[in-house]
A and B are shown apart, each in its own frame.
Chain A
Amino acid sequence: MVRLITHNMLACHVKNCTKDNFPLAFSDVELVIRPAPENLEFINRFLPKLDWKALVDTARSLGDTTLPETMPESMTEDQLRALHHVLMEMHVEEGNMTCRGCGHVYPISNGIPNMLLAEHEVGR
């Protein structure tokens, strides 16, 4: 399932990995679109919590180019719809998320990412 709303909240958390640890880069992706009921009020409220650039870059890497480069000052309803689609309806079922900083690969299978750290990455 990994939806982009979740992906936007996740950073690599390997010990001492603080540079380029967000956003994680998708690869070998199997993408599924599942329509979800709209709640634009929720999308609007969630907007300030998002990292817009990370979201747009990630959406484009998955082939969705509906979002503008910079976050609009105020969103039109159509823009909120597009955002709803990107955040809530795009599911990455299989693939990898790779940290651009340390190279750790977080595999996704059956829509569930495995984000457990290896022993040497845990730190104290």
Chain B
Amino acid sequence: MPLYLLRISSEQTSFRIPSLLSIAQVFDFPIRFVSSDLFRGVLVVELQREDDVEKILERDILVLSATELFAEGASYDELHTELRNNMALFDPYIHTTFRITMESCNHRIPETRQRETINTFRYTGLQGEVSMKAPQVEFVIVEDYEWEVANTPEARYARDGNFVRVYFGRRIGIGRARSLILSHSVKTRTYYGNTSMDAQMGFLMAGQALPAPGKIMYDPFVGTGSMLYAVAHWGAYVFGSDIDGRQIRGKMKGKNTRPGVYRSAAQYGVEDRFIDCLTYDVTRGPIRRGGWVDAIVTDPPYGVRAGAKRLGRKEGKKPLREDPYLMDDGEYSHQKPDYLPPSRPYELANLTLDLILLARWLLVPKGRLVFFLPTVNEDYDEIDIPIVEGMKELKFGAGSVQDFGKWGRRLITMEKTALDDGLPPTFEDHDELELTKASGKLPGHYGFNKRYAAGFPPRKDGNRSESATPPNTTLEKREEGME
């Protein structure tokens, strides 16, 4: 089977393999990872057909470009030797117009050497005209360097040519999903809130839910809807609920105003896929049956920007009213239009377990649950994810983590393995015994908001866990981390 070279953004490296695997699953094609190091700027994969590459270019927000690999080597000698043995690869392109482009990862090649290097490929015997603007075929040379700091021109010249590996191939196309980062940026979104997910992460998360036309997906903590725009973009029908309807509506009031979530959905051309957004507490919700949702995708509130709430009264305060309250004006309080029932905090460990139980009931067999789980990095344990019969965690390697230093959030993807609907969750408070069942200790996300507010102890290893990769400096991430 042919090999393909993907150039991949070095952001969110722990998300790239799950993302590719999910795309392969949506479109039902096999993919094999050939590179020994999966976290460099180039990734060699084996695919059956060029069509599969097109699917990746269309869907994967991290993929910059794709190239059919002709030859590779640790040096140009190795590369040329391999290429000379495969000259038949050029046959279809002997008379087409072409150009040769030179690219690099973690480095910028001086123009003079680019020209010199391109000229060493004369033996390929290409007879078509060179066309820089609109070639019929584009060949690419990619040099892959180690990541290191070189911030003077001298330093850059000194390391020029000291690449780890060099690749040659025919360009298939550039990543078309990359532009979604701009087009769906929160900055230009019609309606958003302080908990809106940044576009790139939203799409990475959405991809894990395997969205496709004719599927129906649900966000039980919909907020300002940012999870759903990405899911709906890939064709799925979506609906959401939130205990706080103001997040869905926005500030505009009165008849004939469109709720904020629908306005943003219209901006992205997916309004007809937004089936509904409803105000209710998912722990006391009106859904009457299970087994009909293809995926639950959600970024549950974990108390950093907003705390999770559920209906009820805080423990130790007065008990819940048993009967409606008749006000002095002769009306019942709950029948007033501005009535808001009391709510109490929803502890994250409880919420996480409930979410998995909800998915166990609501999802179709093989349906997916995708959510973010914040944890203090020091305390995270493999077995923090609650074990629920009929639900299985899907994980590649150490899992997908967005690392903010002392804490991080993990993207958890689970699949429903059960074939039946089972019973709806009761959403009773789980006691500590039940929460510690899996690991014998409270999970790393237990009481996360309190520990976040109190500040974290310094990390013992003193290092970022991903020190081998370049520091991530997207604006959204910095904001999150420094909040």
Contact = CB atoms under 8 A, between A and B. Distances in A.
Interface string A100-124: 0000010101111111111111111
A49 B216 CA distance: 12
B280 A122 contact: no
Given A110-B249, A112-B248, A118 B324 contact: yes
* Interface size bracket, A side: 35 or more
Contact of A45 (B214, B311, B320): B214
Nearest to B239: A6
Given A49-B292, A116-B243, A120-B334, A110 B276 contact: no
Q: Which of A9, A34, A42, A107: most chain B Cβ within 10 A?
A: A9
B288 A22 contact: yes
A39 B212 CA distance: 12
B321 A6 contact: no
B321 A13 contact: no
A55 interface: no
B286 A115 contact: yes
Interface residues of B, number: 51
B214 A41 contact: yes
A109 B278 CA distance: 11
Contact of B341 (A5, A49, A94, A122): A122
Contacts of B288: 9-11, 22
A88 B216 CA distance: 13
Contact of A13 (B243, B248, B284, B340): B284
A123 B342 CA distance: 13
B295 to A, nearest CB: 14
Contact of A119 (B275, B280, B335, B341): B341
28 contacts: A1-B274, A6-B276, A6-B278, A10-B287, A11-B288, A13-B285, A36-B272, A41-B214, A42-B214, A49-B292, A105-B335, A111-B259, A111-B262, A112-B245, A112-B249, A114-B245, A114-B279, A115-B278, A115-B280, A115-B285, A115-B286, A116-B280, A116-B341, A117-B311, A117-B341, A118-B333, A119-B320, A120-B322
